[in-house]
Amino acid sequence: MTNIHEQAMTYVYQQVLQRLLSFFSRAERTALQLLIQRLVVAAGGMERIGDYKVLAIQSGSRDSCYTLALLRAAQLSIAGRAPATFRLRVATLRLNGDSSTALENIHRSHSALFLYDDPRVEVLMVEHREVLPFDHLAPISEAGREFNRLNLLMVGHRRIWNGPLDLWDDGYLATGEFYGQIARWDSGVDALLSSDSPRQQKRFIEGLRRAAAKAGLRPSNHHEPGYEGLFSLLDELGSDSYRRLYPEDDRAAWRPAERFEACRRTTYIDIHDLLVTNLEERWPLLTEFLGFQPDELSAQLRDNDYVSLPVCAHLQGLQACFVHGHSYEAGVADYLQWALVMMRRKQLPQRLGEQAVAAFGNPATSAEQRARAVAEVQKSLGLSEAQLVCLLFAPFGDSGAALERFLRQCHPGMLVALPELHRAMQGNPVPEQIAQWMVDVSGLPVNLIGTLYRMGPVPAPALPMQATLYDDDCAVGGEWSAGQ
């Protein structure tokens, strides 16, 4: 970089900082100074800040975009008063359920903060266990889409058919693996910085532990709570969280392999206490500066980042229809009532309740809503409605314990083939039409169905089995959580 170009870029960064600070309230400016102090202390002093690297995870959510803006302000503020500033790694995990809105939010935030051309910043994404430059327009590869689809099914089928609707636990496992690996990549990072609340941290760790147990891993309980113990937990889980589910030849390696450090030095910096609690104060920075486009209904109701609200409602309709013998519309109506109760408890604006009623409360458009949800599940997750219903019953695990119930409820014509289905899952040859039916109805190859069959009973859930989606301790979309 020539001196003239460097001077020009320094001027650009100063302008970015000045405009960014113009959106900060007095409380946010105070929080910024406290963040700078916290980073300098963690680095070991201002003289060592230039060698310090911080990892920020960018999901496109409101909070992750806001946190990144605060962190960028700290980086540029230090650069204006010291010979060097800390380096920043911003990383995004690509999964099948990613929304285009979230990806656009990420890209607009990166652009507004001038991250792409700053040599002090790495802007990365991980797709199919490969570290790549972030590209919001790049579709997930076919291999990556299939990898994510199989992981979702394998972990999702590890449940009791009438247990909690934690069908998306694979998201926790994939995200945990992503944290552990991106922190080791290319000389590693010194710290993971996050603004997640203690409740969010607890829910994520519990979800990660639950998913790990489903995948056949049994980490110890001797870890510090929250993200303080995250990396020691990830060390126990290892670099391949799915190794018990697939043959070794079928598992993709992390790439490029030669750029991953053998050891990690990462610590955790918690800045939840620094965030301005008044959400209304954040909106000008988010919307006017970062170009953030909010989905307020999802932001307020979703505790599950791995599936959309329409899919959550669709799932409740399917469970009511196929598992409990009620109508599809009754399940969606129950979901809406739960959502309205949660809104009242959170004292949310009435307009959000009106949005929820408009989205889920019109019986005249129920068939249309269902068709849209079916299309979304097929497009984003690669699952047909029949495969989603199969996932609800989880009929293959624990030696096919729920298989007969599934057949009686959903495929009574296949009851006569029950012995052949067990033979197939035990690894014995069966007629081609039997094997093909298993593949079509589950979305899984027969050998992986056999893996589920042999894995034994599902680990006991953390919460009582009699709890339902609409209890206080249960989050939207069937993601069980605690501390609400």
The reply to whether 156 and 180 lie within a common domain is yes
Does any domain span residue 434? yes
User: Could you tell me how many residues make up the chain?
Assistant: 484
Query: What average pLDDT does this structure show over 231-252?
Result: 91
Total domain count for the chain? 3
Identify which of 21, 71, 111 has the alpha carbon closest to the alpha carbon of residue 292: 111
Report CA 34 to chain centroid distance, whole Å: 29
Does any domain span residue 25? yes
The reply to whether 83 and 232 lie within a common domain is yes
In single-letter form, the type of residue at position 186 comes to D
The reply to whether 71 and 153 lie within a common domain is yes
Query: What average pLDDT does this structure show over 247-274?
Result: 89
Alpha-carbon gap, residue 290 to 230, rounded angstroms: 30
Asked whether the predicted pLDDT for residue 302 surpasses 80, the reply is: no
Asked whether the predicted pLDDT for residue 461 surpasses 50, the reply is: no
The reply to whether 417 and 464 lie within a common domain is no
Report residue 464's pLDDT band, with 50, 70 and 90 as the boundaries.
very low
Asked whether the predicted pLDDT for residue 483 surpasses 50, the reply is: no
> Which structural domain range is residue 366 located in?
297-386+460-478
What stretch of H or E contains 192?
Answer: strand 191-194
The reply to whether 420 and 313 lie within a common domain is no
Residue of higher predicted confidence among 293 and 295: 293
- What per-residue confidence (pLDDT) applies to 261? 86
- What per-residue confidence (pLDDT) applies to 424? 97
Last residue of a domain, one of 247, 270, 294: 294
Contact 56, 179 (CB under 8 A): no
Tokens, residue 47: 């003289």
Does any domain span residue 484? no
Last residue of a domain, one of 266, 294, 322: 294
Report residue 275's pLDDT band, with 50, 70 and 90 as the boundaries.
confident
- What per-residue confidence (pLDDT) applies to 303? 53
Alpha-carbon gap, residue 423 to 126, rounded angstroms: 39
| Residue corresponding to tokens 């963690």 | 42
Report CA 278 to chain centroid distance, whole Å: 25
Round the average pLDDT of the chain to a whole number and report it.
89
Name the β-bridge partners of 193: 269
pTM comes to 0.90
Contact 346, 412 (CB under 8 A): no
What stretch of H or E contains 90?
Answer: strand 87-93
The reply to whether 472 and 358 lie within a common domain is yes
Q: What percent of the chain has pLDDT over 90?
A: 69
Asked whether the predicted pLDDT for residue 15 surpasses 90, the reply is: yes
The reply to whether 19 and 49 lie within a common domain is yes
The reply to whether 212 and 272 lie within a common domain is yes
Tell me which of 31-35, 242-246, 289-293, 301-305 is least confident: 301-305
| Residue corresponding to tokens 């919460």 | 463
Domain CATH code at residue 75:
3.40.50
Tokens, residue 261: 């450090």
Report residue 274's pLDDT band, with 50, 70 and 90 as the boundaries.
very high
- What per-residue confidence (pLDDT) applies to 304? 62
pLDDT tens for each residue of 31-57: 999 999 999 999 999 999 999 999 999
The reply to whether 316 and 430 lie within a common domain is no
Residue of higher predicted confidence among 139 and 249: 139
Q: What is the DSSP letter of 232?
A: H
Last residue of a domain, one of 274, 294, 314: 294
Tokens, residue 337: 């009532």
Distance set, CA 356 to CA 17, 186, 245, 349 (Å): 38, 45, 39, 12
Does any domain span residue 410? yes
In degrees and rounded to multiples of 5, residue 194 shows phi and psi of -145, 150
What stretch of H or E contains 329?
Answer: helix 328-345
- What per-residue confidence (pLDDT) applies to 456? 86
What stretch of H or E contains 374?
Answer: helix 366-376
Contact 264, 180 (CB under 8 A): yes
The reply to whether 321 and 333 lie within a common domain is yes
pLDDT tens for each residue of 353-386: 777 888 787 777 788 989 999 999 999 999 999 9
pLDDT tens for each residue of 383-442: 999 999 999 999 999 999 999 999 999 999 999 999 999 999 999 999 999 999 999 999
- What per-residue confidence (pLDDT) applies to 466? 35
Contact 150, 448 (CB under 8 A): yes
Report CA 428 to chain centroid distance, whole Å: 37
The reply to whether 301 and 288 lie within a common domain is no
- What per-residue confidence (pLDDT) applies to 41? 97
The reply to whether 338 and 382 lie within a common domain is yes
